[in-house]
Amino acid sequence: MDAGNRARGTNRACVRALWEEWVDSFLDYLRRERQLSPHTLNAYAVDLNQFVDYLARADRLEPARWDASLWEGFIYYLRRRSMSESSVARKLSAARAFLRYLHRRGTLSEEPPEALERARPHRALPNTLTPSEVRRLLLQPPLDNPLGIRDRAMLEVMYATGLRVSELLGLRMEQLNLADRVIRVQGKRGRERLVPLTETATYWLQRYLSEARPKLYPKRERSDCVFLNERGGPLSRIAFWNKIKLYAASAGITKNVTPHTLRHSFAVHLLSGGADLRAVQELLGHSDITTTQVYTQVNLERLKEVYKRSHPRA
């Protein structure tokens, strides 16, 4: 490699390092000003690192090299990695928000290229369980040990409330009001909401707290987390995810079941029972009702299936 090529390579490395610093600055802004959750921040970090990688590979780290084809190139870069349209749309949105942030703070002297006019991607219908499948799933945890009682309580609470898995695992003792059968939930961006508990979920939660949880305390200290692992610390998302996979398999459920499946099922079953869409939005903690409306599509799809099976001319 001659001196000129070495110098250009060194310069590209320096520019890329500068972009990575800007990404860190943007993530810090999202954490401090918009109070996004660690999970959402991690998603932004992955998306923006892919955007910077695209800029480096396409030799577009310098804004002078940008034009309207910037976004077309990024879309092509993402699609070559077999990403879904919803993932492509999310990564484009993250990249545009990032560039707008850099322009507002004066890092970029010129506005980024205009966004492409693209149709909003079709949102895949959420995977849900039938009421019968939910019952089978809830019956799987063994009740002869503290961890099984804990798992039963967690599944009952999740299906009864529609909590996000992060909200469930982040529950603290002071958020429980079992006398009134209510949980105070700390949702996204620090928004709080009150979610009622069913009588059954309250029973299993009380049983866990009285019978199982005291046996999970470490001898040295106590945690104020509601749901503990076998060492007395907070239960992780991966551990809970693995538990649900295990119980779904033992229940003979062939669908792809994740913790979020119970949240989806909670919403669909409420709407099927006649619940108001606004009420479901409030219970789920959605800031925008269009997010909740995806569950009405599930009901429509089921109605179509029933119609096809039942109507003689369907």
List residues with catalytic annotation.
Answer: 164, 188, 260, 263, 286, 295
Residue with tokens 């070495």: 6
- 185: β partners: 193
Check: CB of residue 125 under 8 Å from CB of residue 80: no
Element (H, E) at 176: strand 176-177
> For the purposes of burial, counting CB atoms within 10 Å of the CB of 119, is it exposed (0-12), middle (13-18) or buried (19 or more)?
exposed
Cα dihedral across residues 194, 199, 201, 207: positive or negative: positive
Distance CA 193, CA 163 (A): 11
Reported as half-sphere exposure (CB side, CA atoms, 13 A), residue 141 has a value of 21
The residues, any chain, with a CB within 8 Å of residue 304's CB and separated by 6 or more, are none
Residue with tokens 């299936």: 305
Residue with tokens 């925008």: 288
Distance CA 119, CA 237 (A): 34
